[in-house]
């Protein structure tokens, strides 16, 4: 079987590459060795956010700030919650992957792919050939080399999002986005949760000021959080997991490891295809997403790109265009990649943090802060948890924005455009922002560079 483009992996990168190539008249096939749709729809973004919303509904039934409104929590039936999540996932897998690929005339080949040589691919004993290939096999959770950890068979996010039990207690190793989101899900559903993070701050890639605030909010909800804590060993004692650190021993019914993901390249026989791997096991690609084999491109997590579904999808489109030789070779633009940790409150960031800006632009940068108790929407919601933090260079060009607030990700896009196109902070001030929205905080934090926001009228 011969194709113009053969794509290995059916997740966001693979599907986007396939649709892009098909729209340009190419004959395309997608090979999938597992479940159609990849990480996001099956075991990542969709199920985790569905469970976060369920946990939020339960939590807020017993914790809201409005006087005279009497609600209460009753009980959690976790199997029913999980079933509803699975129905959602199955529907999206069908509607947004299976039916979309079929309607576009894209062939779906089920089976594990393996390169025979530089030009041909084998799937279930059958040989396929294409003018070009795109590798889009994603990434898998990985376990750090902690004594006893692998033998104890802990949860990764795969098991945590489809649990076989509702644990009374949960230990989480890793205070990054995945670990914190799942920790808050279980804590709000009644599980005693302890988070262990090796670095001094939760979310080590984020601004420490906002990370510290988020930690306080999570602890107010009852999560126990230990930072600067390295796990030295893990034991399984009956139905309990025992985690040993340098200072203390922790015990829980379940253990979740959320310390990272590795590119999924095993079994592809990339050596035979003359495809070199990078230092983290990723497919090494150039700025055009081409591997060391000029016929083979890579996109998404397997190429070592930022692990976000929207980066994967865009890289799939770019890889497809470059593989087909459409127009000029195109580089993937990664200047303004947003990131959101979907806790409550959420932490959303684009561009440089204050620390990164000082490293790259020196002491001339300017920083402004807007606590949420200065934002009208937060006041009417009686929920002033959070902070806007804006960073600009000496000329006033927007370098980065971080937002800690409920639904922070929904207000970030204006700042994504500001960072990408090099807008001045006064552009943000002089743009209309609807009153009583979270987005209004962007105008106010820009104004805070020139004035005391607390001395303004409520909509000045």
For range 381-388, the mean pLDDT: 98
Q: Which residue has the higher pLDDT, 307 or 327?
A: 307
How does residue 328 score in pLDDT terms, banded at 50, 70 and 90?
A: confident
In this prediction, residue 305 carries a pLDDT of 98
Could you tell me which of 445, 432, 428, 451 has the C-alpha nearest to residue 354? 445
In this prediction, residue 220 carries a pLDDT of 98
- Please enumerate in sequence order all residues whose Cβ is within 8 A of that of 115, keeping only pairs 6 or more positions apart, or say none: 121, 122, 268, 269, 270, 272, 273, 275
**What confidence tens digit (pLDDT) does each residue in 124-143 have?**
999 999 999 999 999 999 99
How does residue 226 score in pLDDT terms, banded at 50, 70 and 90?
A: very high
**What confidence tens digit (pLDDT) does each residue in 89-115 have?**
999 999 999 999 999 999 999 999 999
E strand spans, 44-162: 107-110, 113-115, 120-123, 126-135, 139-141
In this prediction, residue 454 carries a pLDDT of 82
For range 242-266, the mean pLDDT: 97
Strand partners, 173: 196, 257
For range 352-356, the mean pLDDT: 98
Q: Is the pLDDT of residue 78 over 80?
A: yes
SS3 label, residue 411: helix
E strand spans, 70-125: 107-110, 113-115, 120-123
Structure tokens at 195: 């988070």
In this prediction, residue 278 carries a pLDDT of 97
Over pLDDT 70: what percentage of the chain?
100
SS3 label, residue 347: strand
In this prediction, residue 122 carries a pLDDT of 98
Over pLDDT 90: what percentage of the chain?
97
In this prediction, residue 453 carries a pLDDT of 86
**What confidence tens digit (pLDDT) does each residue in 267-277 have?**
999 999 999 99
Q: Is the pLDDT of residue 20 over 90?
A: yes
In this prediction, residue 455 carries a pLDDT of 79
How does residue 41 score in pLDDT terms, banded at 50, 70 and 90?
A: very high
How does residue 326 score in pLDDT terms, banded at 50, 70 and 90?
A: confident
- Strands 28-32 and 2-8, bridge-based pairing: parallel
In this prediction, residue 156 carries a pLDDT of 98
**What confidence tens digit (pLDDT) does each residue in 21-39 have?**
999 999 999 999 999 999 9
Could you tell me which of 357, 358, 371, 57 has the C-alpha nearest to residue 213? 371
In this prediction, residue 448 carries a pLDDT of 96
In this prediction, residue 87 carries a pLDDT of 98
In this prediction, residue 118 carries a pLDDT of 96
For range 152-163, the mean pLDDT: 98
Q: Is the pLDDT of residue 1 over 80?
A: no
**What confidence tens digit (pLDDT) does each residue in 239-251 have?**
999 999 999 999 9
In this prediction, residue 437 carries a pLDDT of 97
How does residue 458 score in pLDDT terms, banded at 50, 70 and 90?
A: confident
Q: Structural domains in the chain?
A: 2-140+262-324 (3.50.50.60), 149-259 (3.50.50.60), 339-455 (3.30.390.30)
Q: How far apart are the first and last CA of the chain?
A: 66
In this prediction, residue 90 carries a pLDDT of 98
Q: Is the pLDDT of residue 457 over 80?
A: no
In this prediction, residue 159 carries a pLDDT of 98
pTM above 0.75, yes or no: yes
The Cβ-side half-sphere exposure at 118, using a 13 Å CA radius, reads 7
């Amino acid at each position: 079987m011969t194709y113009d483009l053969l794509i290995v992996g059916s997740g966001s990168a693979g599907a986007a590459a396939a649709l892009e190539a098909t729209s340009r008249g190419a004959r395309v096939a997608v090979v999938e060795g597992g479940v159609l749709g990849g990480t996001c729809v099956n075991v990542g973004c969709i199920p985790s956010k569905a469970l976060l919303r369920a946990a939020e509904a339960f939590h807020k039934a017993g914790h809201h700030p409005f006087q005279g409104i009497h609600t209460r929590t009753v009980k959690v039936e976790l199997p029913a919650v999980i079933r509803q999540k699975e129905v959602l996932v199955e529907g999206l897998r069908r509607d947004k992957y299976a039916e979309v690929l079929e309607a576009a005339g894209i062939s779906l080949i089920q089976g594990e792919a393996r390169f025979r040589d530089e030009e041909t691919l084998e799937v279930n004993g059958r040989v396929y050939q294409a003018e070009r290939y795109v590798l889009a096999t994603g990434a898998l959770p990985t376990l750090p080399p902690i004594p006893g950890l692998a033998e104890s068979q802990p949860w990764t996010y795969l098991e945590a999002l489809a649990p076989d039990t509702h644990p009374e207690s949960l230990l989480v190793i890793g205070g990054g986005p995945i670990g914190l989101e799942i920790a808050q899900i279980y804590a709000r559903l009644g599980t005693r949760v302890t988070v262990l993070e090796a670095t001094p701050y939760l979310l080590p890639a984020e601004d420490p000021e906002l990370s510290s605030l988020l930690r306080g909010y999570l602890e107010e909800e009852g999560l126990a959080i230990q930072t600067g804590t390295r796990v030295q060993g893990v034991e399984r004692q009956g139905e309990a997991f025992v985690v040993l650190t340098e200072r203390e021993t922790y015990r829980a019914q379940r253990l979740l490891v959320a310390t990272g993901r590795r590119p999924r390249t095993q079994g592809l026989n990339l050596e035979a295809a003359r495809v070199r791997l990078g230092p983290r096991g990723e497919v090494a690609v150039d700025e055009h997403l081409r591997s060391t084999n000029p016929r083979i491109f890579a996109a998404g997590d397997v190429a070592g790109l930022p692990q976000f579904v929207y980066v994967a999808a865009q890289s799939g489109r770019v890889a497809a265009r470059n593989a087909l030789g459409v127009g000029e070779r195109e580089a993937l633009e990664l200047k303004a990649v947003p990131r959101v940790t979907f806790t409550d409150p959420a932490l959303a960031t684009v561009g440089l943090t204050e620390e990164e800006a000082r490293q790259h632009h020196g002491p001339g940068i300017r920083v402004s802060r807007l606590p949420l108790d200065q934002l009208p929407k937060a006041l009417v919601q009686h929920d002033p948890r959070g902070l806007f933090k804006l960073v600009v260079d000496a000329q006033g060009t927007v370098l980065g924005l971080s937002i800690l607030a409920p639904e922070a990700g929904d207000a970030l896009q204006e700042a994504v455009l500001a960072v990408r196109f090099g807008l001045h902070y006064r552009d943000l001030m002089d743009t209309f922002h609807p009153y009583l929205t979270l987005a209004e905080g962007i105008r106010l934090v820009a104004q805070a560079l020139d004035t005391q926001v607390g001395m303004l009228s409520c909509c000045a």
